[in-house]
Homo-oligomer: A and B are copies of this chain.
Amino acid sequence: MQEILSALAEPNRLQIVELLRRKPLAVGEIVERLGLRQPQVSKHLRVLSDAGLVEVRPLGQQRIYRLRAQALKELDGWLDPYRRTWNERFDQLDDVLRDLKGKDKERKDGRRK
């Protein structure tokens, strides 16, 4: 998860991922579409690959990269517990206020849950 997030955190890599959303591409195609230099694209693809976000298949002398759904599903799964939370009451601040003060202080502002 950590690896996935830091892979996506780099702007050019995020662009690559979004490019690959449409369809798998060879390195050279990514190079020309993003206007980056070939070595940087290869390096970024390496990082994305290590993070499990893309996979490669050779086709002649070129390498076709495509997205791996699994990695994105992992990210999606990470969001799961948060989804549950933000549908309930997300402003539990008042509860915490009570926790922190706790010792039956008076509540002069009159706020309640």
Contact = CB atoms under 8 A, between A and B. Distances in A.
A29 to B, nearest CB: 9
A95 B55 contact: no
The SS class assigned to the A binding surface is helix
Contact of A93 (B2, B8, B57, B109): B57
| Copies of this protein, total | 2
A5 to B, nearest CB: 5
19 contacts: A1-B14, A2-B9, A2-B14, A5-B8, A9-B9, A21-B85, A23-B95, A24-B92, A57-B109, A57-B111, A59-B97, A59-B100, A66-B92, A66-B93, A67-B82, A69-B82, A69-B86, A72-B79, A76-B79
